Amino acid sequence: MIRMMVRPRWVAALLLCLAIAAGFALLGQWQLDRAIASGTVVERTTETAVPLADLVQPDGPPQSVANGHKVTLTGSYVSGDEQIIAKRLNAGESGFWVVSHFVDSAGASIAVARGWAPTLKAAQAAEKELQVHAAVQIELAGRFVEAEAPVVPADGHDPHEMTTVAPAALINLWPGFNEQPVYFGFIVDELAAPGLAVIDAPAPVDEVELNWLNVFYALEWAVFAGFAVFLWFRLVKDAVEREEELAELAAVAAANEAITQK
């Protein structure tokens, strides 16, 4: 085997296979780098409040960096446009949110979660109290959250019950809404309206997993690299076995010829 391996022909073949294996290894390294890069968590400074307009524009999908960010917004509440959102957890306890209609100084609408109540009765009492408040220009501060999708109540449940803060559904319930711009998201107020508890809105935690598809591709390229070297070894072994067979045949032929001559 060793004598066969050091022949110029097979040394050249080995160099070619090693070059191919190196190329496969580089491709595997590239795929692995991509998997690691996609799994890197980008730190976001979500706890420094910024004007909402710096992160999100109305009538457009918000960027992912805006979700969970603390924001400020100047405008006023639209009295009478309150809605109760059921099945909302607050510190692990199920209850109700009271959500109001807020219009900023530019005339764009956004839903604001005003606070949490443990019972429907308490939420309704807070809602009734908010409905009689006069519209006053204020600076709102809270955490921006991407819009939730509307959910159709299950059979046997109140068909008018809302369990998500979905602007697409809320605008149909705001009597004064008339095709003005609307934000595709809502704000969780950092303060609570009278009769309500502050909604627990912790800072978002970015959890990004490795791209396992890229990891799988990296492993594939490593297998291909190993196979290139294995193929060279297999070809050398086949060449050795072929020479041994030819040598055996030549020996048998020589023996037969010697017997014939005798």
Q: Is residue 195 one of the residues assigned to a domain?
A: no
Domain of residue 18 covers 2-38+210-261
Contact present, 97 and 130 (Cβ < 8 Å): no
* pLDDT string in tens for the chain (262-residue length): 888 888 888 889 889 989 998 998 898 888 888 777 666 555 567 888 999 999 999 988 888 788 899 999 999 999 889 999 999 999 889 999 999 999 999 999 999 999 999 999 999 999 999 988 777 899 999 999 999 988 877 776 677 889 999 998 999 999 878 888 999 999 999 999 999 999 998 887 766 666 777 888 888 888 988 998 899 999 999 988 888 888 888 887 777 777 777 6
Same domain membership, residue 112 and residue 34: no
Same domain membership, residue 170 and residue 132: yes
Same domain membership, residue 110 and residue 216: no
Same domain membership, residue 224 and residue 153: no
The pLDDT, as a whole number, for residue 38 is 65
Contact present, 170 and 35 (Cβ < 8 Å): no
Same domain membership, residue 233 and residue 163: no
Q: Is residue 197 one of the residues assigned to a domain?
A: no
The DSSP bridge partners found for residue 90 are 93
Q: Is residue 235 one of the residues assigned to a domain?
A: yes
Indicate the Cα dihedral angle 111, 67, 206, 218, nearest 10°: 130
H helices of the chain, where?
2-5, 8-38, 120-131, 167-170, 212-261
Same domain membership, residue 167 and residue 141: yes
The DSSP symbol for 57 reads -
Q: Which of 224, 222, 228 is nearest to 28 (CA)?
A: 222
Same domain membership, residue 80 and residue 19: no
Same domain membership, residue 158 and residue 60: yes
* Beta carbons within 10 angstroms of residue 45's beta carbon: 9
| Total number of domains in the chain | 2
d(CA 143, CA 165): 14
d(CA 122, CA 124): 5
Contact present, 66 and 55 (Cβ < 8 Å): yes
The pLDDT, as a whole number, for residue 262 is 63
Q: 8-38 and 212-261 are packed helices; what angle lies between their axes, rounded to 10 degrees?
A: 170
The pLDDT, as a whole number, for residue 105 is 92
Same domain membership, residue 115 and residue 27: no
Rounded to two decimals, the pTM is: 0.64
The pLDDT, as a whole number, for residue 211 is 72
The pLDDT, as a whole number, for residue 87 is 93
